[in-house]
Structure 1
Amino acid sequence: MTDSPAVRTSVRAIVGFLLFCELASGFVQGYYAPLLADIARHLGVNDADITWFLTVQTLAAAVCVPLLSKLGDIFGHRRMLRIAVVSVLVGVLVTALVPHYGVVLASRVLVGPLAVWLPLEIALVHNRITGDGARKAIGMLVSVLTFGAILGTVASGIVSAVSPSLTITLLVPGVLVVVSVYAVFAKVPESTSRTHPHVDVLGFVGLGVAMVSLLLGLHLASDHGFASPLTLGVLAFALVVFAAWVVWERRAEAPAVDVALVTSRRLGPIYLTAFGFGAVMFGGQAPSSTFLAADRAVAGYGFDADASLISAMTALVTILATIGAATFSTLARRIGMRAVLILGASLAAFGNALVIPFHDELWQLWMTNGFKGVGMGLLLGALPATLAELAPSDQTGIAAGVYNSLRTLGGAAAGAVFALVLSTALAPGADFPGIDGYITIWAVEACAFAVGVVALAFLRLPAGTRTAQPVAAH
């Protein structure tokens, strides 16, 4: 039976409002980084202290994402999304209006739930539409999120240049979040699927402690190295807690996270690829910038790039990734989802491997980044879309939440490891890394995607995977 025009319009309207929410989410995520120096001066703190502005938000997200995702599966995804958008709005407003370092750091905790918007929205989409329609919607959500991050980064520079005060500059993201609050409270219907109503409190506490400890340990490793006693102590504590948490979750009747499902052939390859993807996407940003900025006359490599060239190179990858995420579903209709996933991981691996022999000319980096951008874009859209299709219908929220958390953890781990690689690969008698350090990083990045290719080849796609079936909005 063909759905009525009213039903189709209603579903499109729901997706449209969620797309605006993701635009706002990306805008907020991209807005603050260019302003960190100004914020540090505004708060009267040094450059080392202001790094906690972003770190605190990441640590808060590590706790919020799995918790709110699972609670969405139990109590309703819209309900948790409402809590998340209000929390972010309060955090953004306090950041702008209260110029006190301690209060601002507390406000970044409230912004942490920003990272759970996408998992909850994916669950809401899959409760309304499935199959190709859901793939398109999820691809658009991811691509709009990426575009929003670009828009936020560009806007922060423009607004700060014309704004009479930093307070006004910092209030700008709040405008988009206010509209998101309206959309979620007035225009987005609640999901209908529910999972077991039991909340595994100890499981969530253990997962939160393990994630925060791991991220904090990796942050310390980036600053002090892995040999630091403090770093080793925090990481060891995190691993012990994580091991105990796995034991507990395997025995729990209604676990916070179904460990068996996460490690199964059904979802495990997606999660493994997501971890490697996050390692390259987040952990590889700093090495890429420092390589471009290096003075070839001194280091023997690099292009003495200024901020505009580095931004342009980053923009190329981001724009291609945005396009890939928005269009992967069209390609999937022709060659299938598994082929799209493997193609994306293969292109990303090829681009990272190709830069090893070809990095002496600027055009070579444009070329290799082009391969990486297209490949990463296909993965950016196809990975969460496939995950949503394969996850049990009553666990879509937590499945997407674990996906986001693993990408974050991969980025943090790679950032710490890559910093260690560059610090130990110093050129003889110099205080800058030799080219071997960067080659090692590119090789690791290529291997991360190559592992994804192999894992995705063994991905189990059951015959019962949900097919397109739009559902009327309530």
Structure 2
Amino acid sequence: MRAATEPHPIDDTPHPRLLVGVLAFCGVVVALMQTLVVPLLPHIPELTGSTPTAASWLVTVTLLTGAVCTPLLGRIGDMYGKRRVLLASLGLLILGSVLCAVSSHIGVLIAGRAFQGAALAVVPLGISIMRDELPPARVLSSVALMSSTLGVGAAVGLPVAALVVEHADWHTMFWVSAGLGLLDVLLVLWKVPESPLRSAGRFDALGALGLSAVLVALLLAVTQGADWGWASGRTLGLFAAAVVIGLAWGAYELRHASPMVDMRVSARPAVLLANLAALLIGFSFYANSLVTAQMVQEPKATGYGLGASIVVSGLCLLPGGVSMVALSPVSARISARYGPKVTLSLAAVIMAVGYVVRFFTSHQLWMIIAGATVVSAGTAIAYSALPALVIRAVPAAETGAANGLNTLMRSVGQAVCSAVVAAVLANLTFQVAGRTAPTLHAYLVVFLIAAGAALLALAVTLLLPGRGAAVEVIGTGAELRPAAVGEARA
């Protein structure tokens, strides 16, 4: 069993490439599940006898449960075993997929999607396992690959789901999701060991409840504000509740001996700024996914739309997914040589350039794909650098919780982006061919806002401590305890 401060022996983990491959595959499956339902949303009311508002909850509920469960399960993994919590997360994915596969009732579908959303914790848990199990020379490149799976799965999920919607019963994609989840479980049982590292102390149940309440109030207000009205009592009440509960929760966490989120660690500039950058990068990335498919599907009568099918619109994002796989090791090499701060700065610039390209080239399919791919390339480099920044700034005992919080901030950025994009596209419209459609100007405004978010991420990144100030804290800080005999290795 390794002590927390001992270096990672190179021969300690058998077949490290297989370990990384298994964990990365888990990440791709979870990310794919997050976007699987998007092409189906316009058809859900007809297929289930529900309303468009109810159908929108198939996306909203995964955002809520993912946001709540990601930091919670990351912390539980730090304390009680990352592998076992990883398996539990995959079990929730399977359960949610089966519920969606066997029913057409909107209530059951929403419940199933809630369970699927909880599986988003797989990515930060995988990153934590890699930090514990791999030799130092492999950590950066492996973590980069694991982090980029969020974008890869999203890019692959849209065209795959579109093909299923057009050519098969829509329940099929949920059976496929369940099958992939089961395959993930078997692969984890086969090749992923349990980490011997544990965070000491008792689980902070009240802190977990407070964090959940803050996130639910905030994200409900953000995601439903457009439907309820931004000045409505419900929306303003939820925002107020998020602030009040958040302040009380923060004060409680500062006094707790074993907090859900270590506020002192989270307040370090290296951690705080990394999380703020993650929020902005998540915002900028999600705009690319939201508008690309919709834009190319707009009818030609709009003057800018291409009248493309659902499948073609989904395939527009596929080159971006391929670029994310290809660029994650490149990002790791840049981080190893110059530091993740330089890598993240470069990524933010590439994303902003991609949106500038999109601003001036929105009339031809190949140029739309090129611009979207440039943004995805920047996202790949950014997503690969963010966990490296977090790993360098937090103790090994808190890797799961800290990366869970960083992943959460990306999700919050995506939620805010979704609300902003919906507001822009709903307010800048015109009548064409008997229907209301967004104007080209609406899409261009979205590109400018997303480019602005990328440039803000650049500004935040430049404020991060330089490479010389970064301190490797593996095995320091919070107290670690060895796992009990029989816990450490499965």
Normalised to the residue count of structure 1, the TM-score between the two structures is: 0.87
In the alignment, structure 1 residue 462 sits paired with structure 2 residue 465:
no
In the alignment, structure 1 residue 60 sits paired with structure 2 residue 81:
no
8 Å CA contact retained: 1:29, 1:149: yes
Unaligned runs of 5+ in 1: none
Aligned partner of residue 464 in structure 1, secondary structure: coil
Q: Could you say which residue in structure 1 is the equivalent of 2:377? A: 374
Q: Could you say which residue in structure 2 is the equivalent of 1:228? A: 232
Deviation at 1:217, TM superposition (A): 1.0
8 Å CA contact retained: 2:340, 2:388: no
Unaligned runs of 5+ in 2: 1-6, 476-487
Q: Could you say which residue in structure 1 is the equivalent of 2:189? A: 185
In the alignment, structure 1 residue 401 sits paired with structure 2 residue 404:
yes
Decide which of 304, 320, 323 is 1:317's aligned counterpart.
320
Count of aligned pairs between the two proteins: 468
Q: Could you say which residue in structure 2 is the equivalent of 1:255? A: 259
Counterpart code for 1:393: A
Structure 1 stretch displaced more, 321-330 or 52-61: 321-330
Superposed, 1:14-29 pairs within 5 Å as 14-29=19-34
Structure 1 stretch displaced more, 169-178 or 60-69: 169-178
Counterpart code for 2:317: T
Same amino acid, percent of matched pairs: 26
The 1:5/1:63 distance shift into structure 2, 3 A limit, reads closer
Counterpart code for 2:235: T
RMSD: 3.2
The 1:96/1:253 distance shift into structure 2, 3 A limit, reads same
In the alignment, structure 1 residue 388 sits paired with structure 2 residue 391:
yes
Decide which of 439, 443, 450 is 2:455's aligned counterpart.
450
Structure 1 stretch displaced more, 175-184 or 454-463: 454-463
The 1:297/1:45 distance shift into structure 2, 3 A limit, reads closer
In the alignment, structure 1 residue 350 sits paired with structure 2 residue 353:
yes
The 1:431/1:47 distance shift into structure 2, 3 A limit, reads closer
Counterpart code for 2:220: L
In the alignment, structure 1 residue 11 sits paired with structure 2 residue 19:
no
Decide which of 236, 260, 267 is 2:271's aligned counterpart.
267
Q: Could you say which residue in structure 1 is the equivalent of 2:119? A: 114
The 1:325/1:38 distance shift into structure 2, 3 A limit, reads same
Aligned partner of residue 92 in structure 1, secondary structure: helix
8 Å CA contact retained: 2:148, 2:325: yes
Deviation at 1:89, TM superposition (A): 1.4
Structure 1 Cα separation of the partners of residues 378 and 172 of structure 2: 39
Deviation at 1:354, TM superposition (A): 4.3
Counterpart code for 2:348: A
Decide which of 408, 413, 418 is 2:416's aligned counterpart.
413
Structure 1 Cα separation of the partners of residues 425 and 38 of structure 2: 23
CA deviations 1:414-452 (Å, max 9, x no partner) are 211232233344469995444544343222212211122
8 Å CA contact retained: 1:353, 1:442: yes
Structure 1 stretch displaced more, 63-72 or 327-336: 327-336
Structure 2 Cα separation of the partners of residues 31 and 346 of structure 1: 30
Structure 1 stretch displaced more, 228-237 or 287-296: 287-296
CA deviations 1:45-96 (Å, max 9, x no partner) are 2333222122222211122111111111111111211221122212211221
In the alignment, structure 1 residue 50 sits paired with structure 2 residue 55:
yes
Deviation at 1:41, TM superposition (A): 4.3
The 1:262/1:463 distance shift into structure 2, 3 A limit, reads closer
Counterpart code for 1:121: G
